[in-house]
Chain A
Amino acid sequence: MIVLISAIACLLCFLILFVKIVREINESEIIIKAIIAIFILTVFYIFSGFLPYIALAPLLLVLIAEIKLKLPFHKILFSLIKVSVYSVGVLVPFFAVTVFLKCWHGRFDYSINHYITYSKFPSELIGLFGMIFAATKGIPCIIELIKQLRTIQNLPTSAIGSAASGLNEFKGIIRPVNEMPFNDKKDCFPFYLEDGTGKLLVDPENVKNYPGFWDIVFNSNISGIHRGGKNKYFTPGTEAYLLGNLRKDGIAEDMVIKPKAEKHKRSFIEWVVSSDPKNVDDPVFWLSTAKEESIIRHIRYSIFLNILLLLLWLFISFALQTTVISNGNGKLSWSYDLFKVKDLLPQSMLDKIYSKPPSLNVPENNYKTWTSDRAGTPPIIRLNFNDNIKNLGTLKVTPVERYGIIKYQPGIEGKAGYFDGTYYLDLFSETPVDFGGSFTIEFWFKPDRAKAWDDTLTRYILLSNFTPDFLSASLAFQGPVNKKIVSLVTGNLKHGTAQEIKEWYKVTDNLYEMRWYHFFVSYDRNRDKLAYYLDGKALWLSEGGQPAFKIPERIENLSIGQTYSYSSKRDNFRGWVDEFYFYDYARPVE
């Protein structure tokens, strides 16, 4: 549903953008060509996965147009920077749509971050340009509209016969001087406005370029500029609303209004090749056949639309800087990772949300139970991480922190130990403990957020059992960032030789960050039964037949949070661990 709504929102955004751009065309056909080029390339990109060089198309077109216009070098340079930032910024909804589609169809397995690595075209950059675009175009546009609204609302209508010089609002009837006020070639000719008390001359002085969509200079109807529609609306005898600076000319007529043509241009979407506003005159001018009330309504609507557009643009731009996960089957995992929801909430709330996730909501007593003679025997190792790492179990072990000091932060019960990815915990046993193979390990853990540029195949070993020469068994995570997999390492591994890992048994995927998980593993050597559970859900049950995983029989040097690799400290576990229990028998579960 979220995907659908977002996709529809993006498509809507795209449509608004397209309509706005098309309506604003006022300089040359080059802009239409640029838009068509973008559209075609976007479609092409969606289907082919070709790199989004879409932004280059309008850039080249603008460059050609500006060279043709013979603009000075610094203007061309500035314009190119502006156009390149803006054209990428404008692409934000396009890009978002492509990401959705690609994720949907599973072409794109991991995340946008992953995509960046291969495409060399960071979505962060697109998001950034989108934000710059929205901020520099949207906010001034909204301010300008508010100013317009205020001016129109605050100014009462003047009678032409008794109006003072300066900004005035008139309502009257259009009367031509010689020719029709407007023709189809966008030429404007002087005309009179009469209101019964007098008449004034409106002299557009060869205005040809109609400023942007929101600053409707010659607005035929309030919904926008209609090319070729002016004669239809601004015919002699039409009632018109006029806002402009009145002055005494003294030549042809006494009262004259000369509109400024170019400078007042403000628009959210502006692709226009820059041109010199030479024929500037009066800063405020508005002529419309609509009533004042509809103009006010229209501006209010424009402000509302612009704010919505601005927020939408900022939101999508921000979203492009985050991560989308696809499992490759057309299903997106967004609920936790997109828009970094987890970053927005306080820790206490996160704990509530993640302690019982809906996706893994299974009955708590779903653990498979085995009878055991030693039921009720306390664990040999018990760490509750309540401000210390003292073993509360029966075994004499000395926990030692390596490469740093564990931090204690709120956990499942009391506090939990935080591992930052560089340090880990060694549990030295004074004498090797032989527990005959049967054991139970249970603990809570919560993976921390991944770093933005973590290796996609970072492996975190949560628990390992070292012997002098090799790592006999490990409980580990492996997998790309944001798609960690709880796996088991098989085979005998030498220190520092990750290559010798024979196989990783995938027991689950979609191990989310910032969420507490309860892990439980139990092995009964006599019955040869092995079971793994995550949040009470059986991940792997084995009865009979030795699994490839070699079960440790002795504890000499148990590590929590250490990688199998000596060389890379950063592969150590990053996250929280709480209520760690190690039993030397297969514990029945209550």
Chain B
Amino acid sequence: MKKIIFWTMVAFVIAVLIVSVLQILGFNLLMAAAETRITGLWLLSGILLLILTIVVLVWVISIFNSLIQVRNNIMKAWKNIDVVLLQRHDELSKLVEAFKIYTDYEQHVLLAITQLRVAYRQKKDSAQKTTVENDLNFKANDLFAGFEKYPELKANENSVRIMDSISSLESIIAGRRVFFNDTVKVYNAQIETFPYFVFAGIMGLRSHPYLDDFETAEKFRGNSK
């Protein structure tokens, strides 16, 4: 793109040079082409068209670049949070293992968490990963609620350590989640605004889901009941 801008500018400058040199030498195209009568209107139209083309080109490039920039910002913000989320998943798997000895606990929750963990790793797109992560959050809330129900588990030193670890990771995630969601907000707002949505459609950009926090998940759970 930089090359296109550069060469367009070069072409513009050359055009200006040619026109001006022609004027300097007195080869006014109006006069020189007595037979064909190239009029000044055509000459000016050409120059105006060139300027207009440059303006439109710059505008289009600017829009494309902006869309690419917001998309890259999401990728970067996602990578920033992804590292911590994976750590949290590991801790969650340990917690799931701890729960397995309690056969009276809802086994489908444990199974769902395990499946979602695997699914998360399989997904490559940040939007899909966000959706899986939101589901995982929702299920993890169930798990944490279950933790409260088992005094033996709460008394277990290993389990407490896991919960502490998850809690500290959560505080790191919280800061990064805010930034990530802000980035998503900018991205979503941009691809839905005119004229960006036209180009977003061409580029196949779709709105990105937000990463829910625990509070949201809990609220959601409360409402669903």
Tell me whether A and B are bound partners: yes
Q: Which residues of B contact A (CB under 8 A)?
A: 5, 9, 12-13, 16-17, 20-21, 23-24, 26, 28, 30-31, 34, 39-41, 43-44, 54, 58, 62, 65-66, 69-70, 73, 76-77, 79-80, 172, 175-176, 178-179, 182-183, 185-186, 190
CB <8 Å contact, A125 and B175 = no
A122 within 8 A of B: yes
- Known A-B contacts A125-B24, A156-B185, A321-B23; A151 and B16 likewise in contact (beta carbons under 8 Å): no
CB <8 Å contact, B20 and A151 = no
CB <8 Å contact, B16 and A131 = yes
- Known A-B contacts A150-B69, A156-B183, A164-B80; A452 and B175 likewise in contact (beta carbons under 8 Å): no
CB <8 Å contact, A128 and B77 = no
Among candidates B5, B21, B70, B175, residue contacting A197 with C-beta atoms closer than 8 Å: B175
CB <8 Å contact, A150 and B24 = no
Contacts of A452 in B (CB 8 A): 23, 26, 28, 31
Dominant SS among interface residues on chain B = helix
CB <8 Å contact, A156 and B186 = yes
Q: What string of 1s and 0s marks CB contacts (under 8 Å) between A553-575 and chain B?
A: 00000000000000000000000
CB <8 Å contact, B23 and A124 = yes
CB <8 Å contact, B40 and A131 = no
Contacts of B175 in A (CB 8 A): 159, 161-162, 197
A506 within 8 A of B: no
CB <8 Å contact, B34 and A345 = no
Q: List 25 A-B contacts (CB under 8 A).
A: A124-B20, A127-B20, A128-B21, A135-B9, A143-B58, A146-B62, A150-B65, A150-B66, A150-B69, A154-B186, A154-B190, A155-B73, A157-B182, A159-B175, A159-B179, A163-B179, A164-B76, A343-B30, A343-B40, A343-B41, A343-B43, A346-B41, A452-B23, A452-B26, A452-B31
Total A-B residue contacts, Cβ distance less than 8 Å: 102
Contacts of B190 in A (CB 8 A): 154
Contacts of B176 in A (CB 8 A): 162, 164
Contacts of B31 in A (CB 8 A): 449, 451-452
CB <8 Å contact, B13 and A156 = no
Give complex CA distance A230, B186 in Å. 33
Give the interface size bracket for A toward B. 35 or more
Give complex CA distance A388, B31 in Å. 24
Q: What string of 1s and 0s marks CB contacts (under 8 Å) between A119-136 and chain B?
A: 000101101100110011
Contacts of B13 in A (CB 8 A): 132, 135-136
Across the interface, name the chain B residue whose C-beta is closest to A124.
Answer: B24
CB <8 Å contact, A140 and B65 = no
Q: What string of 1s and 0s marks CB contacts (under 8 Å) between A275-298 and chain B?
A: 000000000000000000000000
New A-B pairs, 19, CB < 8 Å, besides A154-B70, A156-B183, A157-B182 = A124-B24, A128-B21, A131-B16, A135-B9, A135-B12, A135-B16, A143-B58, A150-B65, A154-B73, A156-B179, A157-B179, A159-B175, A163-B80, A342-B40, A343-B39, A343-B43, A344-B41, A449-B28, A449-B31
Contacts of B26 in A (CB 8 A): 451-453
Give complex CA distance A369, B21 in Å. 53
> Which residues of A from 316 to 363 have beta carbons under 8 Å from B?
321, 340, 342-347
Contacts of A197 in B (CB 8 A): 175
Q: What's the least CB distance linking A168 to chain B, in Å?
A: 9
Across the interface, name the chain A residue whose C-beta is closest to B69.
Answer: A154
Among candidates B5, B12, B44, residue contacting A344 with C-beta atoms closer than 8 Å: B44
A63 within 8 A of B: no
Contacts of A159 in B (CB 8 A): 175, 178-179
A101 within 8 A of B: no
CB <8 Å contact, B34 and A420 = yes
CB <8 Å contact, A162 and B40 = no
Q: What's the least CB distance linking A187 to chain B, in Å?
A: 34
CB <8 Å contact, A344 and B40 = yes
Choose among A131, A156, A159, A340 the residue with the greatest number of B CB atoms under 10 Å from its CB.
Answer: A156
Contacts of B20 in A (CB 8 A): 124, 127-128, 131, 321
- Known A-B contacts A125-B24, A162-B172, A449-B31; A343 and B179 likewise in contact (beta carbons under 8 Å): no
A394 within 8 A of B: no
- Known A-B contacts A128-B17, A159-B175, A346-B41; A139 and B23 likewise in contact (beta carbons under 8 Å): no
Q: What's the least CB distance linking B219 to chain A, in Å?
A: 24
A166 within 8 A of B: yes
CB <8 Å contact, B179 and A162 = yes
Contacts of B172 in A (CB 8 A): 162
Contacts of B73 in A (CB 8 A): 154-156
Give complex CA distance A122, B23 in Å. 11
Closest 5 CB pairs of A and B: A343-B40, A156-B182, A162-B175, A164-B80, A452-B26
Contacts of A346 in B (CB 8 A): 41
Give complex CA distance A163, B183 in Å. 13
Contacts of A140 in B (CB 8 A): 9
CB <8 Å contact, A158 and B16 = no
- Known A-B contacts A132-B17, A164-B80, A343-B39; A158 and B179 likewise in contact (beta carbons under 8 Å): yes
Give complex CA distance A343, B40 in Å. 5
Contacts of B76 in A (CB 8 A): 164, 166
